Amino acid sequence: MTQHPATEFSLTTVSAPSTLIVRVAGELDYDTSDELVDTVAAGLARAPAPRHVRLDFAALTWIDSMGLSALLMVHRHTRAAGAALYLDNRPDVLERMLGHTNVLDHLTAPVTQDAPGPPKEGDVTGAVVS
């Protein structure tokens, strides 16, 4: 069971009408996760705003907890922008992590028409504690 030399982390952005596609290659971890969030946030800020954001993980070799944290942050951005998030071509390592942590449904939930904005401090604690 040999491992190929770690692929260099890279993000490739493809813009189609109303869709933002980001190909994620290499290791999404502590050192690289911020870059993904920034890239998606920048893509969402364009006009016209994309309605769909597809992250393509076909070339993903590794993801750690900070990588997953970045996906959760990406989701906050897409939801705030009213765009749907898709996680395409998920390799085992990502599938396992999404399974253990039980966040796949949350990340890929369909966007409702009245999508709420980003959670505000008051909203969040109020909703959960009450």
Partner 1 sequence: MGRAVCVPPLVCASPSSFADPRDAGVNVGATWGDAPYPVLVIDRDGALVGLNAAARRLLPRGNGEGTRRHLVPSWLSAAHRRLTERAAGTVTAPLTGEIDERRYEAHATPSEDGAVVWWLIDDTDRRVAEAALYSSQERVAVLSAVSSRLLSTLNVPRCAEATVSMAAEHLAEAAVLVLPPQGRRHTLTHARRGHPVQRVVRRIDPRTVQGLAEALQGFPPVPARWIDPDGLPDWVIPEGFTGPVGSVIVTPLPGHGVPAGALILLRSGTERAFTEGEEVFARLFAARAGAALSAARLYTEQTAITATLMRELLPPALHTVDGVEYAGQYRPAGDEERVGGDFYDFHPGSESAQETLVVLGDVAGKGLDAAVLTGKIRNTLHALLPLAGNHDEVLRLLNGALLTTQHTRFATLVLASVRRQDDRVHVRLTSAGHLPPLIVRRDGSVEEVPTRGTLVGALPEISSVGAEAVLGPGETCLLYTDGITEARGGPLGDEMFGERRLRRTLAECAGLPAEAVVERVQMLAAQWIGAGRHDDMATVAVSAPAKVPPGSADREGAGEHGGRRK
Pairing of strands 19-28, 10-16: antiparallel
Site for partner 1 in 7-46 (CB under 8 A): 30
Does 65 contact partner 1 by CB under 8 A? yes
The candidate with the shortest Cα–Cα distance to 87, out of 120, 63, 115, 113, is: 63
Does 127 contact partner 1 by CB under 8 A? yes
CA distance 50 to 63: 26
Chosen residue from 38, 69, 86, 91 binding partner 1 by CB under 8 A: 69
Give 54's strand partners: 21, 86
Chosen residue from 59, 73, 84, 115 binding partner 1 by CB under 8 A: 73
The candidate with the shortest Cα–Cα distance to 55, out of 30, 37, 69, 81, is: 37
The candidate with the shortest Cα–Cα distance to 88, out of 20, 38, 5, is: 20
Chosen residue from 66, 84, 111, 115 binding partner 1 by CB under 8 A: 66
Distance in Å, CB of 15 to partner 1, minimum? 25
Does 3 contact partner 1 by CB under 8 A? yes
- Name the residues that contact partner 1, by CB under 8 A: 1-3, 30, 64-66, 68-70, 72-73, 76, 100-103, 106, 118-121, 124-125, 127-129
